[in-house]
């Protein structure tokens, strides 16, 4: 198989998946973190434990984002590391939120939890191996993506589910399943974003040859 080279890595590092400012991306990450992480920490089963674990992480991520916002153009590596770490945190938080919300209508078995963890780890590995494959094929030399529809869609569904539940068009179980499905979709989107951890490592590895 073709080895990684600095030209392909450079194209990947400079590839922009969203045609928006970095500060707006930071703001979006913090907003989404708050919307998902705070309710997950405070409500549902084991909330006494999740509050202790999640709330300090939210605070640290927010402080990190504020620090990055000042002089962000000089902190490219740190920005990429932030995106990767926060994507990883958000994807795991979404899975925890799914467990909590499903626990309101069914008993989630230990085997189901283990199965989800295994599939999640496999998904992380496949995602990053696929990015490496695309780098070696030169995909990032000729492709670009703009827009944020993939991020907006799950929140639109999330809001729709809550709205329908409030006006009584669907039952409680239906609302729970709809919201859990939306959170699962968003967990996958966030998991894809963990490729920024790979990008950060490649920057560190090829730093001198791509400057």
Convert the pLDDT of each residue in 169-207 to its tens digit.
Answer: 556 787 888 888 888 888 998 999 899 999 999 888 887
What is the C-alpha radius of gyration for the chain, rounded to an integer number of angstroms?
19
Nearest to 192 by CA among 112, 137, 129: 129
Query: Is 94 inside any structural domain?
Result: yes
- In terms of residue numbers, what domain contains 18? 6-210
- Establish if 60 belongs to a structural domain: yes
* 1 domain-assigned: no
> Is residue 148's pLDDT more than 50?
no
| Residue 187 is assigned to a structural domain of this protein | yes
Q: Indicate whether 178 belongs to any domain.
A: yes
Q: How far is CA 70 from CA 18, 32, 76, 84, in A?
A: 20, 20, 12, 19
Matching residue, tokens 């496949």: 126
> Could you tell me if 99 and 183 are in contact, meaning their C-beta atoms sit under 8 angstroms apart?
no
Q: What is the number of alpha carbons within 13 Å of residue 155 lying toward its C-beta?
A: 11
User: How many structural domains does the chain have?
Assistant: 1
**Which pTM was predicted?**
0.81
Residue 72 lies in a domain: yes
Token reading at 105:
């209508």
């Amino acid at each position: 198989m073709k080895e990684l080279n600095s030209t392909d890595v450079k194209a990947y590092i400079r590839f922009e998946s969203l045609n928006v400012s970095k500060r707006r991306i930071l703001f979006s990450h913090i907003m989404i973190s708050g919307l998902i992480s705070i309710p997950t920490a405070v409500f549902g089963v084991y909330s006494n434990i999740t509050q202790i674990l999640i709330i300090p992480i939210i605070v640290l991520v927010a402080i990190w984002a504020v620090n990055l916002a000042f002089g962000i153009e000089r902190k490219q590596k740190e920005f990429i590391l932030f995106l990767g770490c926060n994507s990883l945190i958000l994807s795991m938080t979404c899975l925890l939120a799914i467990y909590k919300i499903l626990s309101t209508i069914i008993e989630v078995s230990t085997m189901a939890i283990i199965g989800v963890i295994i599939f999640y780890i496999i998904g992380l590995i496949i995602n990053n191996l696929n990015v490496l494959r695309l780098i070696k094929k030169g995909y990032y030399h000729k492709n670009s993506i703009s827009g944020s529809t993939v991020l907006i869609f799950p929140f639109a569904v999330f809001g729709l589910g809550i709205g329908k539940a409030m006006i009584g068009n669907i039952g409680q179980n239906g609302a729970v399943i709809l919201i859990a499905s939306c959170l699962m979709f968003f967990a996958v989107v966030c998991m894809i974003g963990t490729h920024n951890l790979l990008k950060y490592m490649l920057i560190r590895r090829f730093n001198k040859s791509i400057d």
